[in-house]
Chain A
Amino acid sequence: MNGLRCAVVTFPGSNCDRDMAVALEAVSGEAPFRVWHGDAELPERLDFIALPGGFSYGDYLRSGAMAARSPIMRAVVAAAGRGVPVLGVCNGFQILTEAGLLPGALMRNAGIRFVCRDVALTVGNTRSLFTSGYAGGRRIRMPVAHHDGNYFADEATLDHLEGEGRVAFRYAEAVNGSARDIAGVLNEAGNVLGMMPHPERMIEQAQGGSDGRALFESALRGLVGA
């Protein structure tokens, strides 16, 4: 995958940005650009943008609310509009909903507590840019680590998401009270994915499993020669 141009955005309080960069380099062979939240512009001709997990701006106001209004996000929204793939994990997912790139909102976990453990997931749509590597409908396992992962959208939006195959991942066990067990959703065009579980923490066996690798392989393979 020579020459792939990926970027990882770091916000004040991001803490999975390095993991994300290591995962992208492990899969693509190229070190991603590291971009700061206060930058007004992204590197040119990007193939892939990742918003990592963490607690940007200390979760002030609402998780992801401040980061979604930071200077770099105007560039991310514009890039997403041009079709550049954007992956938001955990706090990145919260930022994508707050920025309006994905529908719904992530609320406090139904059980109040911070949930930090490996969870079972099913892949809701194996034809998307990010999930084609999970064909076969097998269960996968990824860690979650969040306080605000309880996905909410109104019933009409949920029906719409399901009808269009935009539920990328579902929890296969009780985790946080998410509507219809939704763990990850795609935007209408299919180039933006937000998810609470951490695929970047499941890249090789040394991390306890490699179920996250197929996500990056799917997305980046789709870009080679694109």
Chain B
Amino acid sequence: MKVRVYVSLKNGVLDPQGRAIRHSLEGLGFSGVSDVRAGRLIELEVDETVTDARLDDMCRKLLANMVIENYRIERVAA
């Protein structure tokens, strides 16, 4: 089964990369974009023995840095 983990910066944490992307969009003539936040998508292929609790553990121990990031786990139906 496929699992998607979305890692994003917490609210209030300045995102220099997002800011640079916004400036680039502006430079390309795309107006109306007031903010950009860049995150990370991690896709895992797991078997049925991997519980939600284990996935949660993976996120906390490695996939996300809980000081600055949030994560969201999504199981993708086959």
Contact = CB atoms under 8 A, between A and B. Distances in A.
A104 B67 contact: yes
A61 interface: yes
Interface stretch (A85-93, A108-116, A167-175, A191-199): A108-116
Interface residues of B, number: 11
A140 B13 CA distance: 30
A110 B65 contact: no
Interface stretch (B14-22, B46-54, B70-78): B14-22
A150 B68 CA distance: 12
Given A65-B65, A97-B67, A98-B65, A150 B16 contact: yes
Contacts of B28: none
B62 interface: yes
A108 B20 CA distance: 12
A80 interface: no
Contacts of A103: 67
Contact of A105 (B61, B62, B65): B65
Interface string A59-70: 001100100010
Interface residues of A, number: 19
B62 A65 contact: yes
A153 B16 contact: no
Contacts of B20: 112
Nearest to B38: A108
Given A61-B62, A65-B62, A112-B20, A153 B67 contact: yes
B18 to A, nearest CB: 10
Interface string A12-39: 0000000000000000000000000000
A108 B13 contact: no
Given A61-B62, A65-B62, A69-B62, A152 B17 contact: no
Interface of B: 13-14, 16-17, 20, 61-63, 65, 67-68
Given A108-B16, A152-B14, 6 more contacts: A65-B65, A69-B61, A98-B65, A104-B67, A110-B14, A152-B13
11 contacts: A61-B63, A69-B62, A97-B67, A104-B67, A105-B65, A107-B13, A107-B16, A108-B17, A110-B16, A111-B16, A152-B13
